[in-house]
Amino acid sequence: MAPSASQRRTVALTLATLLCLHGVFFLNHIVSWPLPVWLQQLDAGLGSQRAVLMILEGLAAAVVFVDLIARFDELDRRVRPAHVLLVALGVIGVLAQLFVFFLDSALSLA
């Protein structure tokens, strides 16, 4: 049974939100040049709830990954490589955030 258009839009929105959250996190933690104040404030606001946010990001990454596997043959051939790449970036971003977050928290205890 093929997913409805509403379900496909929800998964696409989940993937887009996941990638935007990764972008905010990595821009604030990797980039050395000055960032806009609103971006720094957004990251600080998200940082206060980082543990809960990372759990939700992990669930979102799992959802888009399972959706990719379940709907792989239904994807348009022109869109398939980009979709696979974006899902891979989402999953790798979650793993990288886990690494950075727990490394940072471990170093702050020392």
Give 60-108 as a DSSP string. Answer: HHHHHHHHHHHHGGGS-TTTHHHHHHHHHHHHHHHHHHHHHHHHHHHHH
At 2-59, the pLDDT tens digits run 778 888 899 999 999 999 999 888 888 788 788 788 888 888 888 888 889 999 999 9
Q: How many independent structural domains does the chain possess?
A: 1
pLDDT at 91 over 90: yes
pTM of the model: 0.82
Q: Note down the domain range covering 73.
A: 5-109
d(CA 4, CA 30): 39
